[in-house]
Every structure is written in structure tokens, then in C-alpha cells.
Amino acid sequence: MFESISQKFLALKEKLRGRTVLSEEEISSAAREVRLALLDADVSYPIVSGFIKRVKEKAAGSKRIKGVDTGDQFIHIVHEELVSLMGSEEPVLNLSHTPTRILLAGLQGSGKTTTAAKMARYFALHDKKRVLLVALDLKRPAAIEQLRILGKSTGTDVFSRAATDPCIVVQYALRETGYDVIIFDSAGRLAVDGELMQELAEVKKICDPQYTLFVANSHLGQDAVNTARTFAEEIGIDGSILTMLDGASRAGAALSIREASGKPLYFEGVGEHLEDLQPFNAKSMADRILGMGDVVNLVRKAKIHIDEKQQEELKKKFLKAAFTYDDYLKQMAMMRRMGSFKSLFKMLPGEMRNMIDEGGAESNFKSMEAMILSMTLKERSGLVELEPSRRRRIALGSGKNIEDVNRLVKDFKKLKQFSKQMPKMKKHFNSTLM
């Protein structure tokens, strides 16, 4: 995601590295590279112009921070302005109204139907809400069937009715009771037209939603931004959702859509699976654009998928040098719950990714797991010594070489030895500070 623009910013950071102070000419040169990177990412010219003006003013007026690289300081200013451009605070949908009615609008192919199902899953999982999906795309029977299939896979009820007027479907859907949230999946067109806008206006009037959200395909860049502006002006929207951010997006839509529509971004779709929807966070997006990874959402994943109690127990074992191969497996299982190694790898900062062989790390991870699973329970618990005959059996059972098993044992012993030194190191560090 955003590889092209991220590489440009990482190159700029490297170019500025080691400078004690930035002259006016160097600030202008750096700002020019930022301008070109943003224009190449399909950010509109007026937005880029205002952005660059603010960056130059801040850079020229900022005092050198002792101990901080000048290049890092300049990139930090760019980061602050990116966050400001996209919205400093993370917007949250208020679901206290029962039922909270949400109308999804957008062009055909923007991912509205899939997004509706993703939102239903998200609200059920994170907010413990009972959600009803309403199919309003009556001109495309396939869209109704798609919503039914997606609803079934997420355990969400889907309301549909044989009719030619979506307003009638809305009226019947509003009679349904027992739901905390109702999401209306409206019809789209290949382009903005009068018929679409009139239909949406009528649906919105009857639906009377707490939120009307524009769903935009991020691949369309400025086309998506311009369409969002049109929807905002003609029917009124309360915010946007960006889809398909896992592809070769150029960041233009993410950076421009809030400024253009005057409304916040609430969610972003980062994959094709139903769990691939996350709240939009400007800091997270700025981090990704600047090649700093996605620590915000990495921490979110960890909080959801990693058992804090189990993690604390493993930490205590590590500090006492009492952890086992079995503990290794538990740690791997927790990591796996967060997603594939490939998806986690993408969330690391660019400089860190360059230091890690993604394929090699994934391969080592799987090899280590295979070897530990080939051990007996006593071997995993450290109750017996892994003598050569046992190591040969483990190698055979895991499809690895004896050298691989020897390396695993050697690395494991090194880790235990290191953990034994931790209390001493901590004690020495504390005494040094006193």
C-alpha cells in the first residue's frame, strides 16, 4: 500500500539525514520534492499548494531540536500536516440511537455491498450490536443475492423485498424490530446521473438516517474525491469510507477526500476478507504514507487477538528463564491469530522491513513450528535432554535437516541464557542510575 509515495519520502529523509540546519534553499528543495510526491500520488493541486505552503512556513519557523536529526524534524512537520489534513481526531460513529440508521451511497463498483457486510461484522464484534442489512439495489438482483450470502457468512439478518421502488423496501424494513443498527445498501450507477441522485434523495428522506456515508473506491483517486464532493453537495453526506486500500492505491483519495467533502473518513477497507475493515485513523494513514509502518493498527490487532493474561505469564517465565518450547508454540499461536506474517510484515516501518527478509522470516517461522510440533510433550516441556537420537527423530518428523534442529536448540539455549542475565542487567542499570 502506497509503496511509490512511501519510497519517495524515505529517499527524501535519507537525503536530509545528518544536516545540522536546513537553509531556506534546502527547505524549498525538500518542499518541492514533497509537492511532486503528492501530485504523483494524485492529490489535487489546490490541496497540495496549501499543504506545501504550511509545511514551508513551519519548517522555516521551527527551531532546531537538540539531538534530533534535521531531516527527521522536517519529516515530522510533514507528518503533522498530513494528520491535520486528514483529521487529527479519529471519528467514531455514535450508535446510541436505537436503531441507528446508516445509509451507504456511492457509485457501482465502489464496494458498497461488501462494506455493508464488513460494517455489520464490525459492529457485532466490537460494539456488540445486532445489525440488520437492507438490500436496496433493486436493479441488480445479483447485488441482493450477494448481500444475502455475505449476511449469512457473518451471521447477520438481511431484509429484502420484491419491489421496483427502494422507498417501499425502506418503509417495510423500518417496521422490523429488535435491531440496534440498520444498514441500507443503496443502488449505484457507473457514473453520477440525475436518476441516481433523485432516487437517493427520496430514499434518504424516508430512511431519515443518522449517518449517510459515501463509499469510495480508493483506486479512482481524484475521480473518487470529485464524486464525493458531488454527493456531499447534492444529497448531503456525513462522512466517507475508503475501500480497496490493499491494492496499488496512490494515496490521493485518502489525503483529499476529507478536505474536498468537508466530512470525516470513518472506515477503510484494507482487504477482500470480511474482517478487513478498520476505523480510519489519520496518524496511522500518515505513518503508512511516510513509510513508517502502521503501528496504530498493529497495536489494535494485538489488543484484540493476544491474551494479555497469557502474555503476562510468558513474560514472567522469560524473566525467570523458565519458558519452554511449548511456550514458544503458544507465542506463535497468538501471533497467528493476528493474521498472516505477510500482513503483519506490511505494518512494520519501511526501514525495518528492509532489514528483514519477509520470505525468510515466514519460512523460519514455519520451520520452527514444524520442529517443535515434532517433539514429544516431555521434550517440549524441557523435561528431557534433546540428545542426538531425539534430534534425528525430530528432524525426520518435521521434514528438516539435523542441522536445522541443532540450530533451533542452540538459539533456544541462547535465549534462555540471555533471559537469565536480564535480572542482573536490570539491577546493574538501576544501580547506575542511583
The SS3 call for residue 133 is strand
Could you give the angle at the alpha carbon of 13 between the alpha carbons of 7 and 17, nearest 5°? 145
Q: How confident is the model at residue 428 (pLDDT cuts 50, 70, 90)?
A: very low
The pLDDT of residue 222: 82
If asked whether residues 340 and 233 sit together in one domain, one would say: no
**What does the pLDDT look like over 150-189, one tens digit per residue?**
999 999 999 999 888 999 999 999 999 999 999 999 998 8
If asked whether residues 348 and 325 sit together in one domain, one would say: yes
How far is the first Cα of the chain from the last one, in angstroms, to the nearest whole number?
A: 47
- Domain with residue 16: its CATH number is 1.20.120.140
Strand order in the sheet with 100-105: 157-159, 131-135, 181-185, 100-105, 211-217, 239-243, 265-269, 277-279
- Domain with residue 162: its CATH number is 3.40.50.300
The pLDDT of residue 346: 61
If asked whether residues 65 and 168 sit together in one domain, one would say: no
If asked whether residues 244 and 348 sit together in one domain, one would say: no
If asked whether residues 125 and 258 sit together in one domain, one would say: yes
The SS3 call for residue 182 is strand
Q: How confident is the model at residue 392 (pLDDT cuts 50, 70, 90)?
A: very high
Taking the C-alpha atoms of residue 45 and residue 38, their distance in angstroms, rounded to an integer, is: 9
If asked whether residues 114 and 262 sit together in one domain, one would say: yes
Ranked by mean pLDDT, the top range of 236-240, 246-250, 411-415 is 236-240
Given a contact cutoff of 8 angstroms between Cβ atoms, the answer to whether 183 and 116 are in contact is: yes
The pLDDT of residue 140: 83
Q: How confident is the model at residue 207 (pLDDT cuts 50, 70, 90)?
A: very high
The pLDDT of residue 357: 46
Could you give the angle at the alpha carbon of 12 between the alpha carbons of 11 and 13, nearest 5°? 90
Q: Which domain holds residue 104?
A: 100-281
Given a contact cutoff of 8 angstroms between Cβ atoms, the answer to whether 292 and 349 are in contact is: yes
Say whether pLDDT at 312 is over 80: no
Average pLDDT over residues 49-73: 79
CB-count burial class (<10 Å; 0-12, 13-18, 19+) for 194: exposed
C-alpha cell belonging to residue 418: 540471555
Domain annotation covers residue 288: no
- Domain with residue 325: its CATH number is 1.10.260.30
Q: How much is the pTM?
A: 0.71
The rounded percent of the chain whose pLDDT value lies above 90 is 39
Domain annotation covers residue 15: yes
Nearest to 131 by CA among 208, 206, 183: 183
Nearest to 9 by CA among 258, 347, 286: 286
Average pLDDT over residues 180-205: 91
**What does the pLDDT look like over 272-299, one tens digit per residue?**
889 889 999 888 888 888 877 666 666 6
Given a contact cutoff of 8 angstroms between Cβ atoms, the answer to whether 149 and 101 are in contact is: no
Given a contact cutoff of 8 angstroms between Cβ atoms, the answer to whether 43 and 251 are in contact is: yes
The pLDDT of residue 10: 79
Report the chain's mean pLDDT, rounded to a whole number: 82
Domain annotation covers residue 295: no
Domain annotation covers residue 92: no
If asked whether residues 26 and 111 sit together in one domain, one would say: no
Average pLDDT over residues 113-124: 96
Nearest to 33 by CA among 13, 18, 12, 47: 12
Domain annotation covers residue 275: yes
With cell 457509485, the residue in question is 107
- Last-in-domain residue among 63, 86, 109: 86
- Cα torsion 302, 308, 313, 319: sign: positive
Q: How many domains does the chain have?
A: 3
- Last-in-domain residue among 60, 86, 112: 86
In single-letter form, the type of residue at position 420 comes to K
Taking the C-alpha atoms of residue 285 and residue 250, their distance in angstroms, rounded to an integer, is: 12
Count CB neighbours of 59 within 10 A. 20
Given a contact cutoff of 8 angstroms between Cβ atoms, the answer to whether 352 and 344 are in contact is: no
If asked whether residues 270 and 316 sit together in one domain, one would say: no
Domain annotation covers residue 290: no
Say whether pLDDT at 335 is over 90: no
Domain annotation covers residue 330: yes
If asked whether residues 420 and 363 sit together in one domain, one would say: yes
Domain annotation covers residue 292: no
| Cα–Cα distance list, 119 to 4, 189, 277 (Å) | 30, 22, 7
**What does the pLDDT look like over 249-277, one tens digit per residue?**
567 788 888 888 889 999 999 888 898 89
If asked whether residues 194 and 114 sit together in one domain, one would say: yes
If asked whether residues 151 and 239 sit together in one domain, one would say: yes
The pLDDT of residue 400: 92
Q: Which residue has the higher pLDDT, 153 or 341?
A: 153
- Last-in-domain residue among 225, 246, 281: 281
If asked whether residues 39 and 179 sit together in one domain, one would say: no
